Structure 1
Amino acid sequence: MEGKEEDVRLGANKFSERQPIGTAAQSQYESKDYQEPPPAPLFEPGELGSWSFYRAGIAEFIATFLFLYVTVLTVMGVVKSPTKCGTVGIQGIAWAFGGMIFALVYCTAGISGGHINPAVTFGLFLGRKLSLTRAVFYMVMQCLGAICGAGVVKGFMGDSQYELLGGGANSVNAGYTKGDGLGAEIMGTFILVYTVFSATDAKRSARDSHVPILAPLPIGFAVFLVHLATIPITGTGINPARSLGAAIIYNKAHAWHDHWIFWVGPFIGAALAALYHVVVIRAIPFKSK
């Protein structure tokens, strides 16, 4: 009987190299090198007197301006060509959006966090990563930057040609319903904001030093892949500022018919991603105080 107990004991130790997974793996780092950062306050009036606050807003404005300039100009080039083989095509448009997000997040992450998207800002606000004061300021600056970026593209193309080519404005394409468009925008933004939460998770940064360096890469790839999937449905919004900037400068009736989809869809998708990350992935509401 003792021999059998010894065999059982040895058998249990044969797999000592196994690593815990899930929350068990997280807990082993809890007391070593990481403490949960406190949630951002809802209102932080003191920010209004700080230059870093306004510098961050300017960074969001410039980043969104450059984002619209490159991406809408790319869309214009594809639409203008009589044959898609003579252009970068849908894949090129997707690369323009994803590549610009990669570059701009890399450039602005240390200043403003590199949101460049009101839906991302909204999701991070719900996750208590920034205050309402900063969130509203970011959204305003992002929308202004998008309008200016689309305006520069119109200046390059000329009024008649810009309007003829559709101005890069988002709308639900023929063959799809408004429900299809809304669902595509919700799913696409969920993927993006979920990736943003995962790539910028402070716990992962504390555990793996390479995570902050690589963060812009998966975010850019998420934008690229979502564009590949949803360009045929809505032209891909997943960024209310991008949709608003193009719609205002183009300013034709069909650009406004479905415009609500490109605000409601991204905000719902961002909220679901924030909920999923905070409640399911990090299980923050269930952690002992």
Structure 2
Amino acid sequence: MEGKEEDVREGANKFPDRQPIGTSAQTDKDYKEPPPAPLFEPGELASWSFYRAGIAEFVATFLFLYITILTVMGFANNQNKCKTVGVQGIAWAFGGMIFALVYCTAGISGGHINPAVTFGLFLAKKLSLTRAVFYMVMQCLGAICGAGVVKGFMGHTKYELLNGGANYVHHGYTKGDGLGAEIVGTFVLVYTVFSATDAKRNARDSHVPILAPLPIGFAVFLVHLATIPITGTGINPARSLGAAIIFDKDFAWDDQWIFWVGPFIGAALAALYHQIIIRAIPFKARA
């Protein structure tokens, strides 16, 4: 037993950054920090994998809006709320779709499906500005198309009566409340993305890449439970923009800035926290 305890202590001390779960540090896998992505990478524009990834982001965001906005519409359309999926069902629709879509597209584009996630990963130098902008454009186009298909199914009159699944600050809350909810909610999401996809954890724990979509989807579910009463929950500028463009009413556009500024601030804070506090990358000695 004493020999085994020594082995555990020696294994746990192989890495300068201690981890709370000792077993994950007992592997012989070494780790080297991946190089940061360049700010501009013009060569990507000549690569099919670049456009393939953008198409994957478009399709994933299209499906995300299609399923989630239809779920919201079904809830709002039924007078007897006991016979609908309820707020919990809406939260599960958003979280479940993110889980499924991240799982399906992670190997192609990284499975962002959200400009705020893309922005956070860009700030952490996980992808180039070229790819980040392309992803955001494709995500927004996918969201617009997804919301448009929902409107086609529901019909113009019913779609407008049900507010089109648009995000806005609900009655009883201030714009500051809405902005704060979007900042904190997006921080939770993007922080989870960083933690679940951390390359250092991937090098140590082989199960991490397989399970990564699960905590990300679960984070989306929990944030929706908390903030649906405040803003309907944005934490995804593409989702908010797509619904607002198809719905196209003043009260949705009045609050639209909240669903861009809030998520981008939350994503930036999550990137900063992960890089400086969790990974301490700026303070590590360079060989």
TM-score range, shorter chain: over 0.9
1:111 maps to what in 2? 108
2:22 maps to what in 1? none
Q: State the alpha-carbon separation in 2 of the partners of residues 194 and 252 from structure 1.
A: 33
Q: Is the 8 A contact 2:119 2:268 kept in 1?
A: yes
Amino acid at match of 1:213: I
How far apart are residue 25 of structure 1 and its match? 2.4
Q: 1:213 to 1:30 in 2, by over 3 A?
A: closer
Partner residue of 2:233 out of 232, 236, 259: 236
1:61 maps to what in 2? 58
How far apart are residue 24 of structure 1 and its match? 3.8
Amino acid at match of 1:281: I
Relative to the length of structure 1, the TM-score reads: 0.92
Q: Deviations over 1:42-96 (max 9, x none)?
A: 0000000000000000000000000000000000000001021010000000000
How far apart are residue 22 of structure 1 and its match? 9.2
1:182 maps to what in 2? 179
How far apart are residue 150 of structure 1 and its match? 0.1
Partner residue of 1:134 out of 131, 134, 140: 131
Displaced runs of 4+ in structure 1, greater than 2 A? 15-26, 28-32
2:164 maps to what in 1? 167
How far apart are residue 23 of structure 1 and its match? 4.7
1:223 maps to what in 2? 220
1:88 maps to what in 2? 85
Matched, 1:25 2:18: yes
Q: Secondary structure at the match of 1:167?
A: helix
Q: State the alpha-carbon separation in 1 of the partners of residues 56 and 250 from structure 2.
A: 32
Matched, 1:77 2:74: yes
RMSD after superposition: 2.0
Q: State the alpha-carbon separation in 2 of the partners of residues 45 and 25 from structure 1.
A: 39
Instruction: Give the length in aligned residue pairs.
Output: 277
Unaligned runs of 5+ in 1: 1-12
Amino acid at match of 1:134: R
Amino acid at match of 2:259: F
Matched, 1:154 2:147: no
2:272 maps to what in 1? 275
Q: State the alpha-carbon separation in 2 of the partners of residues 30 and 214 from structure 1.
A: 19
Q: State the alpha-carbon separation in 2 of the partners of residues 81 and 179 from structure 1.
A: 31
Relative to the length of structure 2, the TM-score reads: 0.93
Amino acid at match of 2:139: Q
Q: State the alpha-carbon separation in 2 of the partners of residues 105 and 207 from structure 1.
A: 22
1:36 maps to what in 2? 33
Q: State the alpha-carbon separation in 2 of the partners of residues 69 and 161 from structure 1.
A: 16
Higher Cα Rg, which structure: 1
Amino acid at match of 2:275: V
